[in-house]
C-alpha cells in the first residue's frame, strides 16, 4: 500500500522539488551528488575558522555546505525552517556526523549543543532546526546531545539585513548556560543551521570563557559566501 501511495502521491525532494523515487528519502540521489560540499572538516584555517580569528578561540570550525542565494542548500534550509520538513535537519546532521567521525582532526566530542531558540519562537515553529541537526550528528557519531544546557532567555530581533556590528550587538548576552558541570576536560560542539558573520555562535562560545579545560568547536549546515 505504501508503494502504491508513493507512486501516485510521491514525496518531493527538499532541494529540487522533483518527485522522489522509491528508495529515496528527503533529498534525491541527483541532488545529493550535486550539493556544494565544503569539505572544511578536512583542513584547518578554513573559512569558518577564520571567521573567529581575533574574536574568540575555537578548537575546530566546520560547515557541510556552501550557501548561495537560489542554490539547492537555500531550498533545503527553507524546507527545514519554514515548511516543517524536519527530515532535512536529521539527514544533514547524519551526513555531517559521518564526516566528523571519519576525520580525526576534530577528535572526540563530549557535548553536542544546538543553538537554542527563544521559547516564544520555539512555540511558533514547533521545533528547533539546529536541535534536529544536532540529533542527526548524535545518531551518526554516538556523541551525547544536550538540548537543555544552552538557553535563550532573551528574544532578540532577527539578524536578517543587519550589519556585522549590528548582528554582534543584537545577540550579545542573549544566551545563558545552565547545569554545565563536566567531570574533567571536555570538548563542546556548538551546532547551528547557517553561519554568516559568526556573531550568534560567538555569543555562545563566550559562555565558556574562563573554563580552561573546555574546548569549543562549531559546526553548521551551511556557510554563507
Q: What is the mean pLDDT of residues 27-45?
A: 97
Mean pLDDT within 42-68: 97
Mean predicted confidence (pLDDT) in 201-208: 96
Q: Domains of the chain (ranges plus CATH)?
A: 1-34 (no CATH), 36-224 (3.40.50)
CA 12 to chain centre: 23
Q: Which of 136, 128, 141, 139 is nearest to 90 (CA)?
A: 136
Mode of pairing for the β-strands spanning 176-177 and 150-151:
antiparallel
Could you tell me the three cell numbers for 133?
Answer: 541537526
pLDDT the model gives residue 2: 47
Query: What are 22's three cell numbers?
Result: 522509491
Residue 102 is predicted with a pLDDT of 87
**pLDDT score of 209 more than 90:** yes
Judge whether 206 and 174 are in contact, CB under 8 Å. Answer: no
Tens digit of pLDDT for each residue in 17-33?
999 999 999 999 999 99
All 3 cell numbers of residue 58? 575555537
Predicted local distance difference test score (pLDDT) of residue 9: 60
Instruction: Calculate ∠ Cα 208-97-20, nearest 5°.
Output: 135
pLDDT band at residue 4 under the 50/70/90 scheme: very low
The band of 217, judged by pLDDT with boundaries at 50, 70 and 90, is very high
| pLDDT tens profile 112-155 | 999 999 999 999 999 999 999 999 999 999 999 999 999 999 87
**Bridge pairing between strands 186-195 and 111-114:** parallel
What mean pLDDT is reported for the chain?
Answer: 91
Q: Write out pLDDT tens, residues 75-90.
A: 999 999 999 999 999 9
pLDDT for the residue 155: 79
Taking 90 as the threshold, does the pLDDT of residue 166 lie above it? no
Angle ∠(206,216,95) on CA atoms, nearest 5: 125
Amino acid at each position: 500500500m505504501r508503494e502504491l501511495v508513493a507512486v501516485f502521491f510521491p514525496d518531493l525532494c527538499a532541494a529540487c522539488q522533483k518527485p522522489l523515487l522509491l528508495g529515496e528519502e528527503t533529498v534525491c540521489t541527483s541532488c545529493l551528488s550535486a550539493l556544494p560540499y565544503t569539505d572544511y572538516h578536512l583542513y584547518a584555517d578554513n573559512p569558518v575558522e577564520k571567521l573567529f580569528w581575533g574574536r574568540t578561540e575555537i578548537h575546530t570550525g566546520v560547515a557541510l555546505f556552501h550557501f548561495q542565494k537560489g542554490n539547492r542548500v537555500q531550498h533545503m534550509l527553507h524546507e527545514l525552517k519554514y515548511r516543517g520538513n524536519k527530515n532535512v535537519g536529521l539527514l544533514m546532521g547524519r551526513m555531517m556526523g559521518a564526516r566528523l567521525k571519519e576525520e580525526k582532526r576534530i577528535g572526540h566530542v563530549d557535548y553536542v549543543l544546538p543553538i537554542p531558540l527563544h521559547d516564544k519562537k520555539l512555540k511558533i515553529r514547533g521545533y528547533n532546526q539546529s536541535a534536529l541537526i544536532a540529533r542527526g550528528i548524535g545518531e551518526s557519531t554516538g556523541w551525547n546531545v544536550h538540548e537543555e544546557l544552552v538557553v535563550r532567555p532573551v528574544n532578540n530581533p532577527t539578524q536578517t539585513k543587519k550589519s556585522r556590528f549590528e548582528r554582534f550587538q543584537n545577540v550579545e548576552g542573549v544566551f545563558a548556560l545552565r547545569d554545565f558541570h563536566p567531570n574533567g576536560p571536555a570538548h563542546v560542539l556548538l551546532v547551528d543551521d547557517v553561519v554568516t558573520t559568526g556573531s550568534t555562535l560567538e555569543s555562545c562560545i563566550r559562555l565558556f570563557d574562563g573554563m580552561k579545560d573546555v574546548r569549543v568547536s562549531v559546526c553548521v549546515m551551511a556557510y554563507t559566501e
